[in-house]
Amino acid sequence: MRKILAALVLCAAAALTAGQPAHAATTLTMLGADVSSVQRSLDLGAKYYDAGGAQRDPLDILKGIGVNYVRLRIWNNPVSGYNNKAKVLQYAKTVKAKGLKLLVDFHYSDTWADPGKQYKPAAWASHGIGQLQTDVYDYTYDVCSSLKAQGTTPDSVQIGNEINVGMLWDDGKVVNNDFTNLSLLLKAGYNATKACNSGTQVIIHTADADSDAHARWFYDGIRAKGVSWDITGLSYYCMWHGTLSNLYNVISDVRSRYGKPVVIAETAYPFTADNADWEGNSVTSGCAGYGLTWQGQGAEFAAVQNTARNAGAIGVFYWEPTWYAVPGNGWDPANINGTGDGWDNMAVFNWTGHLNPNVRWTP
């Protein structure tokens, strides 16, 4: 027994010396897919085929290769009429009927919110921080309660999307390291969620998988203001956020520093550099060691899952695996028919809706 214990101590010391925290790999329990565009695709007649070539419901196909959690973004009042409350309520029934869990991703905007833009919804445009706290609380509570009332209570929610420097700009933007206003908004969202359903897990999501320094700056900042959250969410795209080794270190650091589970709320990888429509691709290059092929896409996604698991994370979500190029399902909600799909080379279905047979979600 002493020899075994001594060996374990030496292994732990070696791991720490190498800069890798020593802990056992966890199981990925949140095996997720953000399929926020799929309602529109299906309404436009898109077809999805499994690896055997059989046409099936896309959720059934994804569930068959390991998915157990669906993420849906929600915009307040998008011009497109998709990804709004009514559509999320509608598709939540489909998600839950298939035995899948539900993550609702609140953007608190009428359009995309990400590190470079956090536009207020038009209805809140003139509101200051006091009113915005009420807005966030009431809107979050209303959506959550409406989902609960129809028997599709969300299992988790995000209070904001990739809020690296705040949300609901400019009132909720972090300026001069002052997290006061952002903390008030996050507390409103957290409290509304728990008032709706105490068991719903609150995720606070940034795209800070690129560095410990960025992640610490943000999460230290909100923690110092007394913000509560249940799960730390990070986006990781290798072409923007660095190596898998770096990802391992960031996950390990935030996991131990804040004592909360960690999920990769977004990741994806291209299977080609080619473009299926007239809209330029958002990503045109890959990362070292992984080709721009179906095999490369499958291998890179597997590597992200392995890294997350080994670093102690509990989940990985692939972003928009079903969004292949379907005319009329453009990226801009204000011009959904007149814009194309910049993600058609990142989906796990090709341009005719056939599944990449190399992609799997694994616990």
Q: Are 235 and 266 in contact (CB under 8 A)?
A: yes
Report pTM: 0.93
Residue 319 maps to a domain: yes
Residue 222 lies in a domain: yes
Question: For every one of its 363 residues, what pLDDT tens digit does the chain have, with 9 covering 90 and above?
Answer: 433 333 333 333 333 333 344 445 589 999 999 999 999 999 999 999 999 999 999 999 999 999 999 999 999 999 999 999 999 999 999 999 999 999 999 999 999 999 999 999 999 999 999 999 999 999 999 999 999 999 999 999 999 999 999 999 999 999 999 999 999 999 999 999 999 999 999 999 999 999 999 999 999 999 999 999 999 999 999 999 999 999 999 999 999 999 999 999 999 999 999 999 999 999 999 999 999 999 999 999 999 999 999 999 999 999 999 999 999 999 999 999 999 999 999 999 999 999 999 999 999
The count of structural domains within the chain is: 1
Active-site residue 300, yes or no? Answer: no
Please count the other Cβ atoms lying within 10 Å of the Cβ belonging to residue 350. 18
In the set 266, 279, 300, 320, the catalytic residue is 266
Range of the domain at 103: 30-346
Q: Is residue 352 part of a domain?
A: no
Q: What is the CATH number of the domain that holds 308?
A: 3.20.20.80
Is 117 among the domain residues? yes
Identify whether 159 is part of a domain: yes
The answer as to whether 264 is a domain residue is yes
Does residue 18 fall inside a structural domain?
A: no
Per-residue DSSP letter, 109: S
SS3 content of the chain, % helix, strand, coil (to 5): 35, 15, 45
Residue 123: helix, strand or coil by DSSP? helix
Q: From the candidates 162, 279, 300, 320, give the one annotated as an active-site residue.
A: 162
Q: Which residues of 222-258 are buried (b: 16+ CB within 10 A; e: fewer)?
A: bbebebebbbbbbbbbbeebbebebbbbbbbbbbeeb
Q: Does residue 314 fall inside a structural domain?
A: yes
